[in-house]
Structure 1
């Protein structure tokens, strides 16, 4: 019965994608930034759906299942904390920018070399993020239909690539809106149903393993910080978020949506933590990453469980779509157009974006074979982006003193340290790479920038002295 809900919901998403591809997507702008037409409610919902995808429902659920509710605060706090900083500092600046990609904005401050490097790093990180969306959705389809996970991954990849190829951001935004509403209502209805047999919140807390009743759940402070920083830094400088703000009707809409993300993310992640902790008590022997899907199938009435499972699958699918679209924009605009100087005719730009979505989706599927753990791929991808891109992006918006040489050096250091720490050294001391790579990248940018006075500041000083 649960499978019927999932099948029906996927079919509905495909119908919506087809509708928008025929009626609303006419050019490159419609495909990449939804014609800059999104309202506050739709923008808030698509932001929430993007950052509560596999990262929260599979990777986050796995983390909560293993370490408990106290440690979950560190894992999930990155979303509202980053969104709050964006509300006060960045949202309006992002929307006022003429750029539609982070590398495009970086080039305006730091030149073409910085843009090329940023776009390559973003591609590497985003293909990784898409890959674990495939894996998470494959696990969900395994539970819903009994398919082998590899078949679920193939089907998920095909649906994600198809949806992204058809309708672009506008179809993703509206399916996100629908999915966010349904999953929030489903989780809200599920909480009292699973808490009642456990004796409420107090009974749930006492039934958890002793180590999970502590604040850090057995993690060291550095390990806990290593789980907080990747998601925090990703969202703070995420091109996916930048692309959505570019799709807002105006800067005021973008700023309101940032505050909406703060409130909605706190509410949704709190519900996820409660439901996963209850699942930990009710079904202690399951695979941690399947906690939310197991609860939907086995621990809830059919209707509520069916809607919850369908919306979980939908969120996994649309989050993958979002990162495919962002990666496609970087590939066509920043690498093909910026690095290789390939000029794509306006009437062919839409086709070019659709073809790159397909190519990047296939690459993400191949990469998934090397990172079978969703949580491992998640921390690697978030760490790569947070260490190499976010410090440079923030400097481009907030620090006039930063120089092109400093920005390029920071991206090189951040990317290389992440790769060496994760792949060559195998995460010494259990620390995620961002704890080392991000500070080194930031210090590198500051040190090199301070060694040479930027040209725009030198010119201002000279003019002042002559006057």
Structure 2
């Protein structure tokens, strides 16, 4: 890298910190820190949401897995885009019925009571910390491959900057920096593919150079392995806390729907670009570690002056997701774990200070996790296994169908967790099927059976929007 490239990277970090510091003036209460005052219109929501979920897994992870396994991994990852569009059409608008909500714990409490809120809070923290760890690992991979800095100090530097602006400015800072990062990834990552295609001799030369199984729908995956991965990406990040929090930040259901659907459609194009960069890396640099596919292409092919911007773009892709999960973790801990268990309601100032302090603590925990997992994709899949089998069914039951049975929610969560653990780690994933699928099925069966059995005691409430607001316990 030249001096100008280093200046571009350093300038990017400085801009992020400045945004965080300046945004502190806008953050005067927990509403500003958690949901940006409910003033995020759909174009801003689209850019912020896209930047949040197009992180290390969707960029470095897809590129690396495609280099290793072929486009089959991209086809499996398309499940995430399908899920995002479906949530935008049928679920996200309904979340805006929960007036005053900051977290999914507010939704669970309104339907199933405080115990469900506490369980949701605990699982949300575990999920967010795991995915944060994946992003921290991706930061280390990018910096190590492009700047030749060892992974451990690279992770520490990248996460420190992320924690600084997230803790300072909350959701306002996260959303503003997400938009900046969205511009970086939306322009410079496709430029990387174009330069890579030129280096291999064009699209037809790339196709000729790739192994045949890298171009097939299933590659060398068994059908069961493909189904398991597809299900993991379809359900693993459905209604996860940061995306729900983004939805609560919009002014109404129309903005929530448009933002989600547009982000989902955009994701298909981004996944194809990331996967194709992985294919370019296989042709040009077949001996590198797959997780380094994207940064290696950037480092070796970008012209002087543009390299620094593209390194910043890679960091933007990862840090946008990391900051979203960091902010969400702090808000979830305060609203869904601390407030329900304390006898005295904390003041707005105390809650704001807690959320800022927790951003630092969660960032430290995610950094430690990043130093223990073998790869970015592994970190993501570990996290998905915690969330989908436990939370998806009761959340959809509440938001879409208005179910209010606390026994149904708690028994469904417990059964999904037990079946997943037994299937995945006790039985060793029989038939090559990931434990996420039988866990979700068990949750659905138990939840539905108990909901029907307790229907008279817990009648459905289809219109939570009639609640004027949510108080400390999430009930009007």
The yes-or-no answer on 1:201 pairing with 2:203 is yes
Partner of 2:98: 97
The yes-or-no answer on 1:297 pairing with 2:310 is no
Q: Residue 427 of structure 1: CA displacement?
A: 4.6
How large is the RMSD of aligned CA atoms in angstroms? 2.1
Partner of 2:434: 432
Q: Any gaps of 5 or more consecutive residues in structure 1?
A: 461-467
Contact 2:30 2:352 survives alignment (8 Å): yes
How do 1:191-340 and structure 2 match up within 5 A? 191-340=193-342
Deviations 1:214-267 (A, max 9, x none): 211211122112222223223432221110011113222111111211222122
Partner of 1:465: none
The yes-or-no answer on 1:15 pairing with 2:8 is no
Contact 2:66 2:278 survives alignment (8 Å): yes
Pair 287,128 (structure 1): closer, same or farther in 2 beyond 3 Å: same
SS at match of 2:40: coil
How do 1:288-437 and structure 2 match up within 5 A? 288-341=290-343, 343-401=345-403, 403-423=405-425, 427-428=429-430, 430-437=432-439
Q: Residue 342 of structure 1: CA displacement?
A: 5.1
Partner of 2:470: none
Q: Residue 410 of structure 1: CA displacement?
A: 1.6
Match for 1:6 among 6, 9, 12? 9
Instruction: Calculate the TM-score normalised by the size of structure 2.
Output: 0.91
Pair 458,86 (structure 1): closer, same or farther in 2 beyond 3 Å: closer
User: For structure 1, which segment, 438-447 or 198-207, has the greater mean C-alpha deviation from structure 2 after superposition?
Assistant: 198-207
Pair 366,458 (structure 1): closer, same or farther in 2 beyond 3 Å: closer
Instruction: Calculate the TM-score normalised by the size of structure 1.
Output: 0.92
Deviations 1:46-66 (A, max 9, x none): 111111111212222222121
The yes-or-no answer on 1:33 pairing with 2:15 is no
Deviations 1:92-151 (A, max 9, x none): 111231221111101111111111111111111111111111111011111232221111
d(CA) in 2 for partners of 1:315, 1:249 = 26
Q: Going by fraction, where is helix more abundant, 1 or 2? A: 1
Pair 54,438 (structure 1): closer, same or farther in 2 beyond 3 Å: same
Deviations 1:69-96 (A, max 9, x none): 2331112x12321122122211211123
d(CA) in 2 for partners of 1:458, 1:186 = 49
SS at match of 1:389: helix
Pair 100,52 (structure 1): closer, same or farther in 2 beyond 3 Å: same
Contact 2:60 2:274 survives alignment (8 Å): no
Q: Residue 346 of structure 1: CA displacement?
A: 1.5
Contact 1:70 1:214 survives alignment (8 Å): yes
Partner of 2:474: none
